[in-house]
């Protein structure tokens, strides 16, 4: 199990990896593994999540509107991503790990540590989504793989599933990262070309 400091470092790496991908994008109409979302939709969602989580962590709460998708275009996607990533990282870095916050999107009150764990899963998986859309192989470090796999199992086994991720796909047991993706409704073999 990752400590808060280790989770924050892994989160930094995932955010940095996505920033690198964002800086190379010139076409946001490319489809992604997220059903009905192209890269513009995905980055808009990710930036909005960063902004919402940053506000909730810094202030203890944030309205639902704080998490709304942010319109991006190919000329500002890298800048918008980096600004939002810095904002949320700074908020987590300055927070008391044991403080309780309210996440309006989910309607519950996790600790900052739990919220960071959720965000690490989101950052790692969405980094894979972007990389897959661009035809680039992406896999986080093994500690992050274990973290994401463990939380993905909890999400997939929760009663009624979750509206946040797609329906889980059958696991194959071939690889914990691939199975984590399947648990979150993603086909590890997905490509933009179909």
Using one digit for the tens of pLDDT, what is the confidence trace for 3-62? 999 999 999 999 999 999 999 999 999 999 998 999 999 999 999 999 999 999 999 999
pLDDT band of residue 193 (cuts 50, 70, 90) is: confident
Residue with tokens 């059958």: 170
* pTM of the complete model: 0.95
Q: pLDDT of 161-175, one tens digit each? A: 666 788 899 988 889
Tokens of residue 57, six digits? 């962590």
Which residues, other chains included, contact 47 with Cβ-Cβ below 8 Å and sequence gap of 6+? 69, 70, 72, 80, 81, 84
Q: What is the Cα–Cα distance from 54 to 189, expressed in whole angstroms? A: 33
Q: Which pLDDT value is given to residue 158?
A: 79
Q: pLDDT of 103-145, one tens digit each? A: 999 889 999 999 999 999 999 999 999 999 999 999 999 999 9
Q: What is the Cα–Cα distance from 35 to 192, expressed in whole angstroms? A: 11
Q: What is the Cα–Cα distance from 27 to 13, expressed in whole angstroms? A: 24
Q: What is the Cα–Cα distance from 181 to 98, expressed in whole angstroms? A: 29
Q: pLDDT of 141-164, one tens digit each? A: 999 999 999 999 998 887 766 667
Q: Which pLDDT value is given to residue 162?
A: 64
146 phi/psi in degrees, rounded to 5: -60, -45
């Amino acid at each position: 199990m990752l400590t808060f400091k280790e989770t924050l470092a892994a989160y930094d790496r995932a955010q940095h990896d996505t920033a690198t991908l964002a800086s190379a994008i010139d076409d946001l109409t490319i489809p992604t593994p997220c059903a009905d979302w192209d890269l513009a939709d995905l980055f808009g969602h990710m930036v909005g999540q960063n902004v919402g989580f940053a506000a909730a962590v810094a202030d203890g709460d944030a309205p639902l509107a704080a998490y709304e998708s942010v319109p991006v275009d190919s000329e500002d996607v890298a800048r918008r991503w980096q600004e939002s990533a810095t904002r949320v990282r700074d908020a987590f870095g300055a927070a008391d790990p044991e403080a309780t916050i309210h996440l309006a999107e989910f309607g519950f009150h996790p600790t900052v540590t739990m919220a960071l764990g959720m965000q690490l899963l989101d950052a790692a998986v969405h980094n894979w989504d972007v990389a897959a859309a661009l035809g680039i192989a992406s896999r986080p470090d093994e500690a992050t793989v274990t973290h994401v796999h463990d939380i993905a199992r909890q999400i997939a086994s929760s009663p009624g599933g979750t509206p946040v991720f797609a329906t889980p796909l059958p696991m194959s047991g071939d690889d914990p990262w691939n199975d984590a993706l399947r648990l979150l409704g993603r086909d590890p073999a997905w490509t933009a070309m179909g």
